[in-house]
Amino acid sequence: MASAPALRVTDASRVVHNPGHGDAFTDHMVTMDWTPAEGWHGADLRRLEDLSLHPGTLGLHYAQVAFEGLKAHRQHDGTMAVFRPRDHARRFQRSARRVVIPEVPEDLFVRAIEDLIVADEAHLSDDPAHSIYLRPMVFGTDPSLMLRPSNTFRFLLMAFVAGGFFGKQVSGVSVWVSREHSRAIPGGTGDVKIAANYAPSFLAQRAAEQAGCQQVVWLDAVERRWVEEMGGMNLFFVRGRGKDAEVVTPALTGTLLPGVTRDSLLTLTERLGYRPREERISVDQWRDECRQGLITEVFACGTAAVVTPVYQVRDVDGDWTIGDGGPGPVTLRLREALVDLHHGLAPDPDGWLHRIG
Ligand SMILES: Cc1ncc(COP(=O)(O)O)c(C=O)c1O
């Protein structure tokens, strides 16, 4: 990243110095309810507190739950900016529609985020590796175990201070190709962000860890050969080197989540003079092109992971290493470009930064 000027810290006593990922919650949350008569109403910024729920809350039993994940970053001038909140709002609406939940209007979604960031800004230190991760979610609240959509819903917005998903390292992760489990099926829900997609992924992630890897790679569920995603992240492959490098990501076939980071990186790839491509890539191609030296770098991306190099793959037929096993130059260049943009240190021609304060 370009040299960062000194950043503002508003309240040292609130700052979390070594956040991991997911449990350094901030102090507040926003709640809002939906009823057939009133629609979305009663948005309320309040202290983060436990919920009181009927044990038969429908959303808990049948996973009528949609969620999002986006980040706010400290800017070089001390203000805060949220990255592409309207894109996340629209994906949240698509996810909600898929599980028969009423959409939260874009403006309400953005206003809730603004209110929470203003209330909890003091949690964020001047460490540019830290950010505030925002988690909007919505679930069916009917106290009923009838197998049908809920008639009432609650929206919650909470936040935590994020360090790095994989710690501060950019050294890379090893991945294990899951041959047994699928993340998504055609006609299913892989292209939306709903809770029901994630619990079933835990077992494959555990198997990856038991195989000595940090993450699981998902293949398509039909032919079991096309590479789709890695854990909760999109994947990119770099073919060739230098300015002529082709930066390839699996095409959105309906079973991949259209990541906001993926979309940002496709734009940045072009802006930096590399050649972006969206195409299907098989696991055999991945292995063979690595062995032939055609694929030189691989990385995963997402709001949580930003850009994380992948250095080794473990599959039933053997292992292979990507490039020289270290983070490659195109990966690092793209990562730097994205992180600079997050912090307001690079031009923002597409208006991705939503400034607050
Ligand atoms: C399955 C899956 N793929 C990819 C991503 C990356 O998406 P984004 O870049 O919008 O965070 C996520 C995270 O939301 C995810 O859960």
Closest ligand 1 atom to 88 CA: 10
3 has pLDDT over 50:
no
Can you give the pTM of this predicted structure?
0.94
User: pLDDT for 281-316, tens place per residue?
Assistant: 999 999 999 999 999 999 999 999 999 999 999 999
| Mean local confidence (pLDDT), 325-342 | 95
| Mean local confidence (pLDDT), 23-31 | 95
267 has pLDDT over 50:
yes
User: pLDDT for 51-77, tens place per residue?
Assistant: 999 999 999 999 999 999 999 999 988
1 has pLDDT over 50:
no
4 has pLDDT over 50:
no
- Measured in Å, residue 88 CA sits from the centre of ligand 1 at 11
Look at ligand 1, atom 15, and give the residue with the nearest C-alpha: 232
| Mean local confidence (pLDDT), 330-346 | 96
| Mean local confidence (pLDDT), 160-189 | 87
Ligand 1, pocket-test mutation among 234, 256, 267, most atoms within 8 A of CB: 234
Pull the structure tokens for residue 43.
């948005």
pLDDT for the residue numbered 20: 66
pLDDT for the residue numbered 14: 60
pLDDT for the residue numbered 165: 59
Average pLDDT for the chain: 93
Pull the structure tokens for residue 111.
């206003």
User: pLDDT for 70-101, tens place per residue?
Assistant: 999 999 888 999 999 999 999 999 999 999 99
Domains and CATH numbers, the chain: 12-163 (3.30.470.10), 168-342 (3.20.10.10)
Contacts of 292 (CB under 8 A, 6+ apart): none
Q: Which residues pair with 234 in a beta bridge?
A: 229, 301
- Measured in Å, residue 37 CA sits from the centre of ligand 1 at 34
Sheet strands (E) in 205-304? 215-219, 227-230, 233-239, 246-249, 275-278, 295-302
User: pLDDT for 138-163, tens place per residue?
Assistant: 999 999 999 999 999 999 999 999 98
Whether 125 is in the pocket of ligand 1, judged by its Cβ within 6 Å, is: no
DSSP string covering 90-152, please? HHHHHHHHHTT-PPPPHHHHHHHHHHHHHHHGGG--S-TT-EEEEEEEEEE--B--SSS--S-
Contacts of 271 (CB under 8 A, 6+ apart): 337
Look at ligand 1, atom 5, and give the residue with the nearest C-alpha: 233
166 has pLDDT over 90:
no
Strands 353-356, 80-83: parallel, antiparallel or unpaired by DSSP? antiparallel
Q: Where are the alpha helices (DSSP H) in the chain?
A: 58-62, 85-98, 106-120, 201-210, 260-271, 283-291, 329-342
